[in-house]
Amino acid sequence: MNSNRCRAAILISGSGSNLQAFIDQVAGQQLELDIVQVISNRLDAFGLTRASKAGIATHCLLHDQFADRESFDRALARELDDARPDLLILAGFMRILSPWFVAHYNGRILNIHPALLPAYPGLNTHQRVLDAGEQWHGSTVHFVTEQLDGGPGVLQGRLLVAADEAAADLARRVQAVEHQIYPATAAMFASGRLEYRAGAAWLDGERLQQPVVRDF
Ligand code: GRF
């Protein structure tokens, strides 16, 4: 590990295909950061297996063993802080974070949401997009603030919804986009090009009024 490189911790709850994209890009030297830890709140998260295979330290912290949201978050932060992360990457981490946790890592948490935020926050986005007959769909990488799915967007990957597309197919296509835009955003942060300041995302010294959009 290089001591100057950005130290990233990745939080997961499930399959971890985004985690895998990070692992692959770091291994292939397309992404310059170190994944110092992977934490899951579910024992059966396949992402834990992916991380172990890659030789990354893993930890599982079960939220149902804590009295309330903040005590889980404080235990999570204790675990994370031992690994001294510069950046937290939420990759399918199915937990709402407490204001305490968000403040503790102020401006250092990224999330990816499978929709073109601010459209379609919340769950089940692919089906909702299809039901609404939308032309465009995609995914958004954003900084995490106290507002669920509401922090400033950085990078959006956008694609055209195909005629008669099934939700599962659309989900697959959106995930393939995620596997590109999420490591790309983390790379911007790791190199110092991207930062969170005064409630906004700044890229190359300019305040982003809206996320950068890439079409796929
Ligand atoms: C992704 O689609 C992401 O947008 C959402 O959760 C999903 C995680 O998938 N936040 P995976 O576990 O990375 O495969």
What secondary structure does DSSP assign to 141-183, as a single string? Answer: EEE--SSTT-SPEEEEEEEEPPTT--HHHHHHHHHHHHHHHHH
pLDDT at 1: 62
Using the atom order of ligand 1, give the atom closest to the CA of residue 113: 4
Catalytic residue (choose from 113, 137, 142, 179): 113
Cα 26 to middle of ligand 1, angstroms? 19
Matching fold, domains 1-105 and 112-216 = yes
* Ligand 1, atom 8: closest residue by C-alpha: 92
pLDDT at 2: 64
User: Which CATH number among 3.40.47.10, 3.90.660.10, 3.40.50.170, 3.20.20.100 corresponds to the domain 1-105?
Assistant: 3.40.50.170
Buried b (16+ CB within 10 A) or exposed e, 180-214: bbbbbbbbbbbeeebebeeeebbbeeeebeebbee
pLDDT digits (tens, 9 = 90+) for 193-216: 999 999 999 999 999 999 999 999
User: Which CATH number among 3.40.50.970, 3.40.50.170, 3.40.50.1820, 3.40.50.300 corresponds to the domain 112-216?
Assistant: 3.40.50.170
* Ligand 1, atom 7: closest residue by C-alpha: 92
Residue 141 tokens, joined: 């990488």
pLDDT at 128: 98
pLDDT at 4: 86
How far apart, in whole angstroms, are the C-alpha atoms of residue 86 and residue 118?
A: 27
pLDDT at 112: 98
Length of the chain: 216
* Count of beta carbons in the 10 Å neighbourhood of residue 17: 18
Give the list of residues 6+ apart from residue 37 with CB closer than 8 angstroms, or none: 9, 10, 56, 57, 58, 59, 79, 80, 83, 85
Domain boundaries, the chain: 1-105, 112-216
Residue 92 tokens, joined: 């399918």
Ligand 1 — pocket residues by CB below 6 A? 12, 14-19, 91-92, 112-114, 139, 175, 178
Q: Known catalytic residue: 104?
A: no
- Predicted TM-score (pTM) of this structure: 0.97
* Ligand 1, atom 1: closest residue by C-alpha: 92
Ranges of the chain with pLDDT below 50: none
Using the atom order of ligand 1, give the atom closest to the CA of residue 174: 2
Cα 91 to middle of ligand 1, angstroms? 6
Cα 89 to middle of ligand 1, angstroms? 11
pLDDT at 104: 98
Question: Where do the H-state alpha helices sit in the chain?
Answer: 17-27, 46-53, 69-82, 99-104, 125-131, 167-190
